[in-house]
Amino acid sequence: MSAGTTKLDVTVADVVPVNELVTRFHFRPTGGGQLPTFSGGAHVVVEMREHEGAVPRLNPYSLMSSPLDTSEYTISIRRDDQGRGGSLFMHRRVKPGDRMVISYPVNLFSLDLRAKKHLMIAGGIGITPFMAQTAQLAAAGGNFELHYACRTAALFTYGDVLTERHGRRIHLYHDDRGEKIELANLLSSQPLGTHLYICGPAPMIDWVRNTAAAAGWPPETVHYEHFAAPQPGKPFDVTLAVTGKTIHVAEQQSLLEAIEAAGVDPPYLCRGGVCGQCETNVVSADGKFLHNDHWLSEEEHRSGKKIMPCVSRFEGRSLVLER
Amino acid sequence: MGINFRKETFRDDFTFRNSPEHVRRFPFPFHEDSYMYAVNIEPHVPGPEGSVLENLIDVDEHYVSEMEDRALVLAEDPLRCQSLPHMTLAGWDLLELLMTEQAKGYPEHFSLTRDGDNWHWINRPLGIDQKFVFGDLSTLPYGPMEYITRQSQGDFCILDQRDGNLWMDAGIVTTQADWSLDFDIGMNFFEWHAPVPLAHEKGVFTRALKFLLNIQQGKPARRLNWTMTINPRLDTSPENYHKWGPDRTTVTPENVGQKVHLRVELQSFWRLPRSNALVFPIRCYLIKMDELVTSKKWARRLHRVLRDLPEELATYKGLTRYRPTVLEWLSKYDDGATTSPGFGPD
């Protein structure tokens, strides 16, 4: 199989600042017509090119528009001043009328349609997949409830929109007002057949998962998504044993991007350490792995035999990969 | 142009046969002179003009008669079509897929007009003209899956994806090689494949599941499977074993050419967009031995494949009782000449 999914040619229809940190981007199909239907929770991988012909940077973003409307896709991106520059590129460079390439939608955070009720917990920009899921459920008469925490009212991305759309199904919590999700009570008061969904910062996901586990929620009723953005780090060199290439991974580059820049195309879907597609065997290593993925087990991390090149890095003398 | 639909039966007097053009487009499943399980999955992209892969959902000369046979099976046994409550959305996904593909591939026979959620479907071969509201169950005579699969050749299994596995939670199964939807409904991928010999040891199912979980929208995949059937019977189900099982004792050297059929399943795998479920259309193609041996290459190769097939596979496919008779008959067509690689007739 070739890497990634089928591509879509889109044109930026609008760029809308939502608040100090978040900007929304609207994409329409460049050739006209409709975009592919998708399900709530799906993401697309956006290709960002610094200039014509440049090797693209590829970042995943959840689709937040209603799955019922395929005339356009929208995504919302939080500016990350410490990141590798993907969000800064989108915020500063992308203008209405620009042509871009995005992937077909992929859903790694699907609703379990058997659920009698969907209980959603969001933190910060983790709200985006729930925008699409709540729209989908509302249209089908589904039973859902969203608890959404943010730092301040000024940064409460789409808190007002959600409340207007779904009324009492939406519960907002402002950190700066000392409002907290009363999780233990919330989890203990749910009807039988409820499924739990979490999207937000890693500590929030851990907190909710652990609390649910302690309260006896079956693991298959607890769903979460946490894309790890690739982190910048010290540059390092890697030998690719199969193709016989030696590559250099720059400070702002991911290992996967460096492998691709050398003309090798490992499979990928999410580029966020979640889907498992780019899992790569380590032939030999002398140094320290910086694992950032959510795919490999802790045991696999410790073994030094596998790495997820989309988000993980390496520091040390030598690394040889089976690519 | 258009397809000349045959009037024929798959039961009782068994008048099914392939026209010479359809013999040539038969999806012969052996690319070499032997057969063993493999994860033989490839991208489901359109193939050569005139082949069964020309359109991703194939409609052929047996369409009308196959749909009549399906209606007979369902009238006798409604449990051949089941959909667990959470699979209705996937049913609408499948309805969209099949209407869209059939209308695109065969515009002289099918047409679909969409105005928002107001859809208009015309199926000329079956004389159907249906206006309905997409997503509104009350506007169709059946649920969406049953409605469209009563108008589409092949069986359809819809698999829910959750917990890193696939679950057989909906389907319509009336043209199957001895398995039962009613028995398998609700099972996961490993549970419903448990009876298959040899493949587990080779790790085939673990790898196949990993591949299927990652099937992406817009990138369907396919594989071929095969067995043999005595008489051109589509419905070889466990429920009706008493009707077709005894047929296997009736093969004689004189009737092999007419009675014995190679049965090939073209299985394809599609991600459904709204439900994130997968659908597996399992399309059955039958060919009589008399028809098959009109290709010298196919005749030689089938003889060699059957001769060298491991005993476990022959037993699993139910060939044991009549294999010697068929081999003897086919051996007359195998002069020992080498066969060219690939599937096509010479």
- Chain B positions touching A5 (Cβ under 8 A) are 216-219
- Chain A positions touching B161 (Cβ under 8 A) are 110
Of A6, A136, A275, the CB nearest to B218: A6
pLDDT for position A293: 87
* Backbone φ, ψ for residue A104 (5° rounding): -60, 155
- Mutation pick from B96, B114, B169, B214 vs chain A, by most beta carbons of A within 10 Å, is B214
Burial of A134 (C-beta count, 10 Å sphere; 0-12/13-18/19+):
buried
pLDDT for position B201: 67
Kindly report, residue by residue over A159-190, the tens digit of the pLDDT.
Answer: 999 999 999 999 999 999 999 999 999 999 99
- A68-71 long-range contacts (CB < 8 A, ≥24 apart) are A68/A135, A68/A136, A68/A139, A70/A34, A70/A35, A70/A36, A70/A37, A70/A38, A71/A28, A71/A34, A71/A35
pLDDT for position A226: 78
Kindly report, residue by residue over B99-125, the tens digit of the pLDDT.
Answer: 999 999 999 999 999 998 999 999 999
- Chain B positions touching A277 (Cβ under 8 A) are 214
Q: What is the mean pLDDT of residues A100-108?
A: 94
Q: What is the mean pLDDT of residues B302-307?
A: 96
Q: What is the Cα–Cα distance from A305 to A315, expressed in whole angstroms?
A: 15
Q: Is the dihedral of CA B99, B105, B107, B113 positive or negative?
A: positive
Q: Which one, of B332, B251, B299, B305, lies nearest residue B26 by Cα?
A: B299
pLDDT for position B199: 67
pTM given for the model:
0.87
Kindly report, residue by residue over B180-203, the tens digit of the pLDDT.
Answer: 999 999 999 999 988 777 766 667
Report CB contact under 8 Å: B273, A37: yes
Q: How close is the nearest chain B Cα to the Cα of A44, in Å?
A: 12
* Backbone φ, ψ for residue B255 (5° rounding): -110, 5
Report CB contact under 8 Å: A5, B218: yes
Q: What is the mean pLDDT of residues B41-55?
A: 92
Of B161, B163, B218, the CB nearest to A36: B218
Q: What is the Cα–Cα distance from B107 to B85, expressed in whole angstroms?
A: 33
pLDDT at residue B35 greater than cutoff 90: no
pLDDT at residue A60 greater than cutoff 50: yes
E strands, chain A, in order: 7-17, 22-29, 42-48, 57-62, 73-78, 99-103, 106-107, 117-123, 144-150, 170-174, 194-199, 222-225, 236-240, 245-249, 280-290, 306-307, 313-321
Q: How close is the nearest chain B Cα to the Cα of A250, in Å?
A: 30
Please list, residue by residue across A187-208, b when 16 or more beta carbons sit within 10 angstroms of its beta carbon and e when fewer do.
beebeeebbbbbbbeeebbebb
Least confident of A49-63, A297-311, B127-141, B315-329: A49-63
pLDDT for position B39: 62
pLDDT for position B345: 76
- Chain B positions touching A107 (Cβ under 8 A) are 276
The tokens for A3 are 């890497």
Burial of A126 (C-beta count, 10 Å sphere; 0-12/13-18/19+):
buried
Of B86, B93, B216, the CB nearest to A114: B86
> What ipTM, to 2 d.p.?
0.81
State chain A's mean pLDDT as an integer: 93
Q: What is the Cα–Cα distance from A147 to A119, expressed in whole angstroms?
A: 8
Q: What is the mean pLDDT of residues B230-244?
A: 93
Kindly report, residue by residue over A76-88, the tens digit of the pLDDT.
Answer: 999 998 888 889 9
- Chain B positions touching A104 (Cβ under 8 A) are 216-219
pLDDT for position B41: 79
pLDDT at residue A2 greater than cutoff 60: no
Report CB contact under 8 Å: B89, A113: yes
Q: What is the Cα–Cα distance from B222 to B215, expressed in whole angstroms?
A: 11
Nearest 5 degrees, angle CA A206-CA A208-CA A210? 65
pLDDT above 90 covers what percent of chain A? 81
Burial of A169 (C-beta count, 10 Å sphere; 0-12/13-18/19+):
middle
Nearest-by-CA chain B residue for A4: B216
pLDDT for position A272: 84
Task: Please tell me whether residue B101 adopts helix, strand or coil conformation.
Answer: helix
Q: How close is the nearest chain B Cα to the Cα of A1, in Å?
A: 8
- Chain B positions touching A38 (Cβ under 8 A) are 217, 273-274
Q: What is the Cα–Cα distance from A79 to A74, expressed in whole angstroms?
A: 16
- Chain B positions touching A114 (Cβ under 8 A) are 84-86, 160
pLDDT for position B196: 76
Task: Please tell me whether residue B96 adopts helix, strand or coil conformation.
Answer: helix
pLDDT for position B168: 97
Half-sphere exposure of A37 (CA within 13 A, CB side): 16
pLDDT for position A4: 57
- Mutation pick from B96, B115, B274 vs chain A, by most beta carbons of A within 10 Å, is B274
Q: How close is the nearest chain B Cα to the Cα of A24, in Å?
A: 23
Q: What is the Cα–Cα distance from A290 to A253, expressed in whole angstroms?
A: 14
Instruction: Give the pLDDT band (50/70/90) at residue A44.
Output: very high
Instruction: Give the pLDDT band (50/70/90) at residue B36.
Output: confident
Residues of A with a Cβ under 8 Å from any B Cβ are 1, 5-6, 36-39, 41-42, 67, 104-107, 110-114, 136, 140, 220, 269, 275, 277
- Mutation pick from B87, B92, B162 vs chain A, by most beta carbons of A within 10 Å, is B162
First and final C-alpha spacing in chain A: 15
Q: How close is the nearest chain A Cα to the Cα of B49, in Å?
A: 24
Report CB contact under 8 Å: B273, A113: no
Least confident of A47-56, A102-111, B175-184, B307-316: A47-56
Burial of A143 (C-beta count, 10 Å sphere; 0-12/13-18/19+):
middle
pLDDT for position A1: 33
Catalytic residue of the set B11, B80, B223, B263: B223
The tokens for B110 are 């099918």
> Quick one: DSSP state of residue B280?
E
Q: B223: which strand partners?
A: B267
Report CB contact under 8 Å: A39, B275: yes
pLDDT at residue B130 greater than cutoff 70: yes
Contact B186, B160 (CB under 8 A): no
Q: A195: which strand partners?
A: A118
pLDDT at residue B207 greater than cutoff 80: no
Least confident of A28-42, A216-230, A299-313, B178-192: A216-230
The answer to whether residue B223 is catalytic is yes
pLDDT at residue B68 greater than cutoff 80: yes
Residues of B with a Cβ under 8 Å from any A Cβ are 43, 84-87, 89, 93, 96, 160-163, 214, 216-219, 273-276
Number of A/B CB contacts below 8 angstroms equals 58
Q: Which residues contact B57 (CB under 8 A, 6 or more apart)?
A: B97, B98, B101, B102, B105, B152, B281
CA A300 centroid distance within chain:
23
Q: How close is the nearest chain A Cα to the Cα of B211, in Å?
A: 10
Q: Is the dihedral of CA B17, B18, B23, B29 positive or negative?
A: negative
Of B89, B214, B219, the CB nearest to A6: B219
